[in-house]
Structure formats: structure tokens, C-alpha cells
Amino acid sequence: MNTATDVADHHEHEHGAPSGIMRWLTSTNHKDIGTLYLWFSLFMFFFAGALAMLIRAELFQPGLQLFQPGVFNQLTTMHGLIMIFGAIMPSLVGFANWQIPLMIGASDMAFPRLNNWSFWLLPAAGVLLIATFFVPGGALAGGWTMYPPLFMQGGIAYDMSILAVHILGISSIMGAINIITTILNMRAPGMTMMKMPLFVWTWLITAFLLVAVMPVLACAITMLLTDRNFGTHFFDAAAGGDAVMFQHIFWFFGHPEVYIMILPAFGIVSTIIPAFARKPLFGYVSMVYAVASIAFLSFIVWAHHMFTTGMPVGGQLFFMYTTMLIAIPTGVKVFNWVATLWRGSITFETPMLFAIAFVFLFAIGGFSGMVLALVPVDIQLQDTYYVVAHFHYVLFSGSAMAIMGGVYYWLPKWTGHMYDERLGKVHFWLTAVAFNITFFPMHFLGLAGMPRRIPDYALQFAEFNMISSLGGFLLGASQLLFLYIVIKCARGGLPAGNRPWDGADTLEWTQTSPPPYHSFVTPPLVK
């Protein structure tokens, strides 16, 4: 009898996807949910990118032209918040959904229904966040870091944003639990932990970071909520509270959050480089340990975001030293990527171009991070455009460009079609050049003393701001080309075949392109 039931169930699964809107609303399939995550994040990327265009338009010249300061502060705050929680994080979860089961030879994620719910919470949070622009008083305007007491002065949008961030946090925690369980329990026979592709390793460690720190963020914003609405005084000095305590709690989440956004990007780059160098990843074991060390260190460096708050000298020195230590595992990773390229047989398809640009530009962001780690120099540069330059080098040319490279790398697998290689290269060069025109001058602005988050600036900053704005407009426009290439590839193109990249050797390339709706129904044997 059991056998008969099994056969019946099995038969049912073979039917593939239901059609129409219900396929997407009720999907428990990791590929469909991955696709949903990726489209959602692409939409949010364009929305938050449009906010950035408005910021650069206002900063094009000194003086107030387009927006009053209150609106400008909403633009910068929401640009940051949406890019982090709406664009970068969901896109990486999209990669995890699509790739982890395929790369470890599993048939799906461990908790398919939970997976459905993790995704469908996101549009609710996204709508809430976007809606805040239309409520009285406008959207969040105190910076994405939500520092009190400034946060106490906002309107209803502030409470709506707290709810939205809570929802996003719940989604992230569920997604992370799903990823951890999948990786630990559903690997194909023979795939030991140290045989997992590095992308899977980076996501395993990232998922642990998520489970550890998203509740901390939830605590911090819940305290904000009760301070605002229920008469508590956690952060109100007049009643014995401490505004700086919020910063400690927030950054205890915030710094691991930075690595949540970069570690899976490391994983993507570590997948692309060996494929196009046609050579195994150099130092796989040290790469795994480096990622784990970075994750550990991320918990003990948080106060380097707070060097100017006036902490005791012992605190400044401790956090300076721990921050400097991060350079060691990060350096190991960069050296290993270079060693992987060394004496390879290299070709430069679009994914490889993005991966190489990642190594080069992320390193610049790493160097400016070293500069900022030193307390005395940080005192000069804290809250200036130097910091804006630094985190865009690690988040845009780091995370976002790795994500774009990953999209080009796996699009043939996801859609079954090759993307337009020529247009892909045009998109890469436009992005890489425009990115540097936009953000490199910000180092100079910060050194010369331009504070961040200001709607108007002194005249000595005019030239670089204008250059930066022009670069920004080009960078924004170039991403429309990305959208076009992705849509074009999804709709048709040359057939990709099972393995369009001859250097790629992970399990997903053993499947058809696109893979069957239920892949690895029988687990592969990994030698």
C-alpha cells in the first residue's frame, strides 16, 4: 500500500508547474520562488536607484533646486533602506533558492511552504515602505540607521517602516533557517561539507549570521516603537535612557549585515573565476576558513561605526584592532582569486568581466576600509563622503556587480537561452566606467570635508559633485540596458545547452537548461 501511495505522489509531482497566477502565488518550488525573489529585487533596485537619481540631481549644483531638505533626507534614507533590504538581500536569497538545491544535488529546499511564505512577505513590506512616501509628513528621513532621538520626531511613516523592517526580518530569518536545513541535510550522497561549492559555503555562513543578528535588529526597532508610542524611555536621556545604546544595538546587527551582503557575493565570484580561468579555485580550504573568520570577526567590530560618539580610549583601541584584523582573511580571499587566475586559460565573457571588476574594485573599498579603521583618520572622515565612497565600493562594485555577474553566469541555466553577449559586455563597461566616475570623486569630497546627508554644499565641492552626478546618471541609465538584456534572454535566444561554460564543473550544469521543474528527483552520486 505504501508503495502505491509513493507512486501516486511521485506521479503527481511529474506534472510540473500549475499555470497562471496561482503558479506564483502558491509555488513551493525553489526555482519559481528564486525567480520571484530575483524579479522583486530587480524592481526594488530600480525603485531605490530612481531615488538615487533624484539625490544626484539635487546635488548636481550648489543651492536648493529640486527638493526641500526634508524631502532630500527622505530620498537618502529610503535609497539606503530599500537598496539594502529590498534589493541586495532578496537578490542574494534568490540566488540561494535557485542555486543551492541545484549545486548540492537536492530536489528542493527543505521547507517549501516556509519558502513560499518567506517570499510573499516581501511584497507586503515593499508596499508598506513605498507607501510611506504618500503619508502625511512623508517617508523616513533620519537615515537608514534610524538613530534616535531624531527618529522620535517623525510621523506615521516611522511606525510603518518599523513594521516593514520587522516583516523583512521575519522573512530573512525564515529564509536563513530554510537554507541552513537544506545545506546540512539534503546534500547528495558523497558531497561532504568540504566538497560543497564555495557559493554554498558562503550562504551557509551567511544564513547563520542572519539568524544571529536579525532578532537583534528586531529588538532595536521594537524599542524605538515602544519609545515612540508606549511611553518607554530606552533612548530618551531626559528619562534616564541612552541614545548611544541604540547605536551599539543597531551596529551589533549592522556590521554582520554588511557581511550578509558581501559573503554570498564572494561565493558568486569564487564560482565564476575558476570557470573562466579553467582552473580549480586556489586554496579552497583557506577560502572556507577565511569566510568563517570574517563572519566571526563581524560580531566584534561594531563600534567602529561609532568612533566619534566619544567612547573611552580602551573601546576605541579594541575596535580599531579587531577591525584591522578583518583585513587578513579578506586579503587571503583576494590573493586566492588572483592565484586562481594565475596561469589559467582565461576568457572574458560578461560574467568574468564582472567578477574581475569585483576583485579590483572591492579591493579599493577594502583599502578605504583600512583607512577608516584607524581611529584618528576615522575621526576626520566619519560621516563624510569618503564613507559614502567606501561603502559604495563594497556594496555596488562589491555586492551589486557580483550579483550582475552571477545573473549573466546562470541566466543560460535559468532560461535555457544565451543572453546577448555583445550587449552584456556593453552593459559591463558602461557600468564599470560610470560607477567609477560617480564614486571615485567622493573620496576627494570626503577628504576635503563634505559631510554626507546634506542637500546643499559649500562651493569648493561643486566640481566633484557635478562630475559625480553626471556619472550617476550614466550609471542609472546603463541599468536599463541590463533590464533589456535579461528580458530578451528570458524570452528567447540561442539554446544554452546543459553546460555553456566549458570551465564550469558544479552539479547544476549536469541538468538541462532550463532544469526540469523537479530536478535531482534521484540524488546524484558525488565522488
Partner 1 sequence: MRLPNRPDQRVGPSLRAILAVSALLAGLLPAQVHAEFGLNLHAPATGLAQNIYDLHTLILWICCAIFVVVFVPMFFALIRHRKSKGHPAAKFHDNLAVEVVWTIIPVLILLGMAWPATSLVLSMKDTGKEDLTIKVTGHQWKWEYEYLGDDIRFMSNSSTPKEQIDGAQPKGENYLLEVDRPLVVPAGKKIRLVMTASDVIHAWWIPAFGVKQDAVPGFIRDTWFRADTPGTYRGQCAELCGVGHGFMPVVVEVVPEARFTAWKEEQKALLAAATANAGKTYELAELKALGEKVYTANCAACHQANGAGIPGAFPALSGSAIVSGDRAGHIDIVLAGKPGTTMAAFGKQLSDLDLAAVITYERNSWDNKVGDVVQPSDIAARRK
Query: Residues with catalytic annotation?
Result: 79, 108, 144, 171-172, 255, 257, 259, 270, 304-305, 330, 333, 452
SS3 label, residue 417:
strand
Under rule CB under 8 A, residue 147 binds partner 1: yes
Residues between 72 and 111 with contacts to partner 1, criterion CB under 8 A: 73
The one segment of 38-46, 81-89, 376-384, 506-514 that binds partner 1 by CB under 8 A: 376-384
Write out the three cell numbers for 270: 569564487
Distance CA 457, CA 65 (A): 12
Nearer to partner 1, 17 or 160 (CB): 160
Write out the three cell numbers for 76: 537618502
From the CA atom positions of the chain, what is the Rg in Å? 23
User: Least distance (Å) from partner 1 to the CB of residue 136?
Assistant: 3
Nearer to partner 1, 149 or 476 (CB): 149
Under rule CB under 8 A, residue 138 binds partner 1: yes
Of 17, 152, 216, 426, the one binding partner 1 (CB under 8 A) is 152
Of 426, 467, 481, 490, the one binding partner 1 (CB under 8 A) is 467
User: Least distance (Å) from partner 1 to the CB of residue 145?
Assistant: 9
Cα dihedral sign, 287-89-180-275: negative
Distance CA 126, CA 123 (A): 5
Of 18, 69, 123, 476, the one binding partner 1 (CB under 8 A) is 69
Under rule CB under 8 A, residue 20 binds partner 1: no
Of 185, 226, 345, 512, the one binding partner 1 (CB under 8 A) is 345
Under rule CB under 8 A, residue 244 binds partner 1: yes
User: Least distance (Å) from partner 1 to the CB of residue 345?
Assistant: 4
The one segment of 68-76, 177-185, 210-218, 258-266 that binds partner 1 by CB under 8 A: 68-76
Residues between 159 and 218 with contacts to partner 1, criterion CB under 8 A: none
User: Least distance (Å) from partner 1 to the CB of residue 370?
Assistant: 6
SS3 label, residue 301:
coil
Under rule CB under 8 A, residue 143 binds partner 1: yes
Count of residues engaged in binding partner 1, rule: CB under 8 A: 100
The one segment of 45-53, 210-218, 256-264, 337-345 that binds partner 1 by CB under 8 A: 337-345
Backbone dihedral angles phi then psi of residue 515, each to the nearest 5 degrees: -65, 155
Nearer to partner 1, 46 or 335 (CB): 335
Distance CA 289, CA 332 (A): 10
Backbone dihedral angles phi then psi of residue 384, each to the nearest 5 degrees: -115, 180
User: Least distance (Å) from partner 1 to the CB of residue 294?
Assistant: 14
Of 176, 183, 204, 359, the one binding partner 1 (CB under 8 A) is 359
Q: Are 498 and 513 in contact (CB under 8 A)?
A: yes
* Nearest residue to 30 via CA among 420, 517, 441: 517
Under rule CB under 8 A, residue 315 binds partner 1: no
Q: Nearest 10 degrees: CA dihedral of 25, 99, 93, 75?
A: -100
Distance CA 62, CA 53 (A): 16
Q: Are 64 and 58 in contact (CB under 8 A)?
A: yes
Under rule CB under 8 A, residue 26 binds partner 1: no
Count of Cβ atoms closer than 10 Å to residue 279 Cβ: 18
Write out the three cell numbers for 130: 513605498
Of 26, 226, 309, 498, the one binding partner 1 (CB under 8 A) is 309
Residues between 42 and 61 with contacts to partner 1, criterion CB under 8 A: 61
Of 28, 232, 308, 511, the one binding partner 1 (CB under 8 A) is 308
Under rule CB under 8 A, residue 342 binds partner 1: yes
User: Least distance (Å) from partner 1 to the CB of residue 519?
Assistant: 28
Of 280, 492, 495, 516, the one binding partner 1 (CB under 8 A) is 280
Q: Are 53 and 473 in contact (CB under 8 A)?
A: yes
Question: For residue 192, is it left (φ>0), alpha (ψ between -120 and 50) or beta?
Answer: beta
Under rule CB under 8 A, residue 374 binds partner 1: yes
Write out the three cell numbers for 168: 523583512
Of 14, 22, 63, 429, the one binding partner 1 (CB under 8 A) is 63
* Nearest residue to 485 via CA among 400, 402, 428, 432: 428
Residues between 426 and 455 with contacts to partner 1, criterion CB under 8 A: 444, 447-449, 451-455
Of 25, 50, 127, 379, the one binding partner 1 (CB under 8 A) is 379
Write out the three cell numbers for 93: 536569497
Q: Are 332 and 282 in contact (CB under 8 A)?
A: no
CB burial of residue 501 (10 Å; 0-12, 13-18, 19+): buried
Distance CA 393, CA 382 (A): 16
Of 296, 360, 484, 517, the one binding partner 1 (CB under 8 A) is 360
